[in-house]
Amino acid sequence: MSYRILVINPGSTSTKIAIYDAESEVIRMTLRHSESDLSKFQTMADQSSYREEFVLKFLEENKIALETINAVVGRGGLLNPLAGGTYKINDAMCEFIRQAKRGEHASNLGALIAKSIADKINVESFIVDPVVVDELEAEARVAGHPLFERISIFHALNQKAVARLSAAKMGKKYEDCTFVVAHVGGGISVGAHRNGKVIDVNNALDGDGPFSAERSGGLPTGQLVELCFGGKYSKQEVKKMLKGKGGVVAYLGTNDMIEVEKRIDEKDQKAEGVFTAMCYQIAKEIGSCAAVLGGQVDRVIITGGVANDKRLVEYISSRVSFIAPVEVFPGEEEMRPLALGALRVLNKEEKAKEYV
């Protein structure tokens, strides 16, 4: 049976939607929302009905009847830590999101919109591999002091999607492989994948790992403490240094890696030095994950938007190819993995999990 799946992926000022017939994409569109319209809503959850109207209007204009849809899948948001997989959207999940218990984020809207539309036509609604996927082994959580704990927040959807693709190319199942996956985008996450679980990964949101286009990654802790208590910067200013105004943009005044590439081509030594240091840190993190996997790695995978940069790929590959063959999946594909996650459940290849 060929199932039709509606995919909804909200961003800060846009909502991406797509229709899939089984694995084939039928149509895709990015719906834009003005800042003035969004400013009318006090919370992110308050936007759900507004954005849903855009989705329904799009379906109507493209003559896609709601009754032809067999499932609706939304981008997963900031929920409690959970194992990877496809989850049914239930009332507990929606209530958690409405209360924003782990913070406000546009991805929270995915579940709310998906469930609302699915309920109208009495079909299932799902989320797939949200950023809070947590499959860390016990020793990976230990931070070095009992008041701290390492947490898992990373590009779970894309990391697991490309790992599945790589496994399929080898004629294997994801659950039977070991990978080190480096997602290189606005944030960078490097995960150690073993038998279908990400057993170790850096906190790509605001914690540790390589610095990126706009995030500082792991900083020298002693210097950070001195800066925090030096009286020069507020708490919010320091947090902005970690996420938003850190990394490449702090050094070079731009978070546009294409611009950085241009500067390097023009013999800008500072740009080249910062770029090389970022690549160095990514390679170092890949090596760290390889050690976690005992050196038994089927593939090292480089993915994310910045993986389109041949200079970056060549530098990292030259450092890590001794570990395993390097495979590159440039870009960050979210719509197809969301559809495939729902499809695996509909085809009974995977059982949907319950959020509690």
Distance CA 55, CA 328 (A): 33
Dihedral angle sign, alpha carbons of residues 50, 52, 54, 60: negative
Of the candidates 101, 99, 127, the one whose C-alpha atom is nearest the C-alpha of residue 113 is 127
Structure confidence at residue 186 as a pLDDT band (50, 70, 90): confident
Q: Which CATH class is domain 156-330?
A: alpha beta
Structure confidence at residue 234 as a pLDDT band (50, 70, 90): very high
Structure confidence at residue 207 as a pLDDT band (50, 70, 90): confident
Q: Are 304 and 184 in contact (CB under 8 A)?
A: yes
Structure confidence at residue 40 as a pLDDT band (50, 70, 90): very high
CB atoms under 10 Å from CB of 295, counted, come to 10
Q: Do domains 4-134+335-354 and 156-330 have the same CATH topology?
A: yes
Could you report the per-residue pLDDT of 268-296, keeping only the tens digit for each?
A: 999 999 999 999 999 999 999 999 999 99
Structure confidence at residue 206 as a pLDDT band (50, 70, 90): confident
Could you report the per-residue pLDDT of 70-103, keeping only the tens digit for each?
A: 999 999 999 999 999 999 999 999 999 999 999 8
Distance CA 290, CA 303 (A): 17
In the prediction, which pLDDT does 250 show? 97
CATH topology of domain 4-134+335-354: Nucleotidyltransferase; domain 5 (3.30.420)
- Residue spans of the domains in the chain: they are 4-134+335-354, 156-330
Could you report the per-residue pLDDT of 308-353, keeping only the tens digit for each?
A: 999 999 999 999 999 999 999 998 889 999 999 999 999 999 999 9
Provide the whole-model pTM.
0.91
pLDDT over 80 (residue 1): no
Measure Cα distances from 314 to 24, 302, 321 in Å: 32, 11, 10
